[in-house]
Amino acid sequence: MTASGVRPPLALTMGEPAGIGGEIALKAWSIARGAARADGAVPPFVLLDDPARLEALAAKLGLPVPVRAVGSMAEGAALFGAALPVLPQPLAAPVTPGRPDPANGAAVIASIDRAVELVRRGEASAVVTNPIQKSALYAAGFRHPGHTEYLAHLAGLTEEPVMMLAAQDLRVVPVTIHVSVRDAMPLVTREAILHAGRVTAAALARDFGIARPRLAVAALNPHAGEGGAMGREEIDVIAPAVADLRAEGIDAVGPQPADTLFHAAARRGYDAALCMYHDQALIPLKTIDFDTGVNITLGLPFVRTSPDHGTALDIAGTGKAGASSLIAALTTAEAMAARRA
């Protein structure tokens, strides 16, 4: 909170400049100006980006969005109703939509670093990240698998980060994240499930206002292993982890067969599902609600959300990108920050 009792604006990072991040930010601001703030449609945000490239992009797409460079988050908050406020983050190379340039990788990373620092100083209420193009960042020397792991590094976490995806009436948490399916199998351990369950339960209580969170834990193998006939991970690893969570007072059930865990009636029985690998979590969520999914990093000392989609290089610069997921990420971040405050 500021001295006036008003929460600071959200800090929105640049993301991959050759992707759709700039376009959806412009569209989110247009929607914000067109909606009554009393309805909470889009909370105030300040974009950390290159003002000149955003002005050119708005003109190219025919979006009537006035872009204004600002010197602080407070100045941006005051200006938000009249223009899209941008804290300047200059780019090293010209941007061609759909063609990431590793030369701009340093600016992309600097945008993330700066947003985190603004939250730490109390000048921003939360970090919302536009999608990054990992291959371009790797070529620029980035040494982290993705946003989630890098933010954990910036926060100084000593344990693995926990990623939650949320949309409509489904929240999913993959126990293993950005690794191949082959490499994920040995990482599905009792300790990893315990860590994900503990962090998820704490976040549901603190950031989502759920007094007694209910966790459903997915099986790894078909038919939950069929009593060991299709694998023993459920018997040897997952069931003991669920028992440990319950012994700690966390309302957890499982292992439950993944093919029956995500239909409408099943979803009403839990507040979040722990899944054993990336696609086991993301396929049902994106099938149920592809357009407004939100990526949330749990366990950080600050709030971070992101749209649950990629850079969409194939449609960058065409005007086809929708801002629904970004708007959901912004509203989710504001709600989480309000609960923490």
**140 or 117, which is more confident:** 117
Say what the pLDDT of residue 146 is.
82
Whole-model pTM? 0.91
* Residue-wise burial string across 218-227, b where 16 or more C-beta atoms lie within 10 A, e elsewhere: bbbbeebbee
Domain ranges of the chain: 1-160+299-341, 169-288
The pLDDT of 16-35, averaged and rounded, is 91
Fold of 1-160+299-341: Isopropylmalate Dehydrogenase (3.40.718)
Say whether 169-288 and 1-160+299-341 share the same fold: yes
pLDDT band at 17 (very low <50, low <70, confident <90, very high): very high
Say what the pLDDT of residue 80 is.
94
Residue 84 pLDDT > 70:
yes
What's the chain's average pLDDT? 92
Say what the pLDDT of residue 170 is.
95
Residue 117 pLDDT > 70:
yes
Say what the pLDDT of residue 335 is.
94
Q: For 209-230, how does the pLDDT look when each residue is reduced to its tens digit (9 = 90+)?
A: 999 999 999 999 999 888 989 8
Q: Percentage of the chain surpassing pLDDT 90?
A: 80
The pLDDT of 83-94, averaged and rounded, is 96
Residue 38 pLDDT > 50:
no
The pLDDT of 107-128, averaged and rounded, is 96
The pLDDT of 67-84, averaged and rounded, is 95
- CATH class of residue range 169-288: alpha beta
Say what the pLDDT of residue 35 is.
58
Say what the pLDDT of residue 36 is.
46
**40 or 23, which is more confident:** 23
165: number of Cβ within 10 Å:
24
- Please tell me the least confidently modeled range out of 19-28, 47-56, 69-78, 157-166: 157-166
Q: Percentage of the chain surpassing pLDDT 70?
A: 97
Q: For 268-318, how does the pLDDT look when each residue is reduced to its tens digit (9 = 90+)?
A: 999 999 999 999 999 999 999 888 899 999 999 999 999 988 999 999 999
pLDDT band at 37 (very low <50, low <70, confident <90, very high): very low
* Residue-wise burial string across 172-188, b where 16 or more C-beta atoms lie within 10 A, e elsewhere: bbbbbbbeeeeebeeeb
The pLDDT of 101-111, averaged and rounded, is 94
The pLDDT of 84-111, averaged and rounded, is 95
